[in-house]
C-alpha cells in the first residue's frame, strides 16, 4: 500500500511503540479538560464538523457504527442523536473515563479491534489518524470490521491550501493553541498537537491509501476553509 504516517522530522517526534505509549499517556493526562479546550480552540466549530461527519455516513437508522479512537465520545453522542448505534473504541482509559453519555465504550487499540469481520455497518474516526503509530494497519483493520457496502467517515485536521489562510492558520496553531492548552490543560500536549500534523500523509496519498485498503470510492472534502478534512468511502 505504501502509505506511512512516519513523522517527517525523525528524532523530534516519536514513532512505533514509543509513539503509542506517549500518545496514550498524553491523552490520559489531558482527558479531564479535553472537551473544554477543544471547544475553545475551535470556537465551537468542532461540533459542526462532527455533525457533518455523522451525516456523511448516509446510513439509515439503527445501523451499528464503530467510532474509532472515540476519545471522550463526542462523535458517539452525535451518532446516537442520529439514531445510529455507536460503539466507541479508544486506547486511553482516561479519555474513556471522561466520556459522559457516550453509550457503549471499549478500551482497545484501533489497529487490533476486538470485533469480528464485517461486524459494523459503518465507522467514524475523529482527529486520530495522526496520533496512530501505524496508519496502514489501522486502514486494514477498518476494512476488516466494516461490512461490504458499509460506510466510513474520517475527520482530521488539514492545512489550508490558500497561502494567506495557511500563514494565519500556522500562527494560530503554533502559537495560540499551545498557549490555550498550557493555560487550561497541559503545555506539552498542546505543543505536540501542531507538530503532530507532520505525521499526516499528503491528501492524495491519504485518499489513495483509504481507497486501496478497501474503500475504492474514497473521496476527500475540506471544511472551514481547509483547516479540516473529511474522507468518506464505501466498503467494496
Contacting residues toward ligand SAM, per CB under 6 A: 20, 23, 27, 69-71, 74-75, 90-92, 95, 109-111, 126-128, 131-132
Q: Identify the helix (H) or strand (E) that includes residue 203.
A: helix 203-214
Centroid of chain to Cα 127: 3
Q: Which residues, 6 or more positions from 115, have their beta carbon under 8 angstroms from its beta carbon? A: 66, 145
Nearest distance, CB of residue 236 and ligand SAM, angstroms: 24
> Based on CB atoms, which residue is closest to ligand SAM, 47 or 221?
47
Nearer to ligand SAM, 17 or 161 (CB): 17
CB of 222 to ligand SAM, least distance (A): 17
Size (the chain), residues: 236
Nearest-CB residue for ligand SAM: 71
Cα–chain-centroid distance for residue 166?
21
Which three cell numbers mark 220? 476527500
- Alpha-carbon distance of 125 to 232, in angstroms, equals 11
Least Å distance, CB 132 to ligand SAM, is 5
Q: How far apart are CA 211 and CA 43, in angstroms?
A: 32
Q: Output the furthest CA–CA distance in the chain (Å, rounded).
A: 47
Residue number with CB closer to ligand SAM (48 or 148): 48
| Cβ at position 204, least distance to ligand SAM in Å | 23
**Nearest CB to ligand SAM, comparing residues 90 and 121:** 90
CB of 134 to ligand SAM, least distance (A): 8
Nearer to ligand SAM, 81 or 167 (CB): 81
Amino acid at each position: 500500500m505504501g502509505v506511512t504516517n512516519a513523522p517527517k522530522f525523525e528524532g523530534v517526534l516519536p514513532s512505533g511503540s514509543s509513539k503509542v505509549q506517549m500518545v496514550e499517556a498524553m491523552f490520559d493526562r489531558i482527558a479531564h479538560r479535553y472537551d473544554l479546550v477543544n471547544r475553545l480552540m475551535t470556537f465551537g466549530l468542532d461540533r459542526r464538523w462532527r455533525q457533518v461527519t455523522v451525516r456523511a455516513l448516509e446510513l439509515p437508522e439503527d445501523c451499528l457504527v464503530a467510532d474509532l479512537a472515540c476519545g471522550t465520545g463526542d462523535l458517539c453522542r452525535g451518532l446516537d442523536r442520529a439514531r445510529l448505534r455507536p460503539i466507541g473504541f479508544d486506547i486511553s482509559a482516561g479519555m474513556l473515563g471522561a466520556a459522559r453519555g457516550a453509550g457503549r465504550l471499549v478500551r482497545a487499540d484501533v489497529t487490533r479491534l476486538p470485533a469480528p469481520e464485517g461486524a459494523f455497518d459503518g465507522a467514524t474516526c475523529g482527529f486520530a489518524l495522526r496520533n496512530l503509530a501505524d496508519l496502514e494497519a489501522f486502514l486494514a483493520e477498518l476494512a476488516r470490521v466494516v461490512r461490504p457496502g458499509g460506510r466510513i467517515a474520517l475527520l482530521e485536521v488539514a492545512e489550508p491550501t490558500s497561502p494567506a489562510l495557511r500563514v494565519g492558520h500556522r500562527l494560530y496553531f503554533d502559537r495560540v493553541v499551545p498557549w490555550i492548552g498550557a493555560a487550561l490543560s497541559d503545555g506539552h500536549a498542546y505543543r505536540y498537537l501542531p507538530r503532530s500534523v507532520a505525521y499526516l500523509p499528503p491528501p492524495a496519498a491519504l485518499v489513495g491509501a483509504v481507497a486501496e485498503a478497501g474503500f475504492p470510492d474514497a473521496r476527500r472534502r475540506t471544511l472551514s476553509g481547509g483547516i479540516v478534512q473529511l474522507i468518506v468511502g464505501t466498503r467494496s
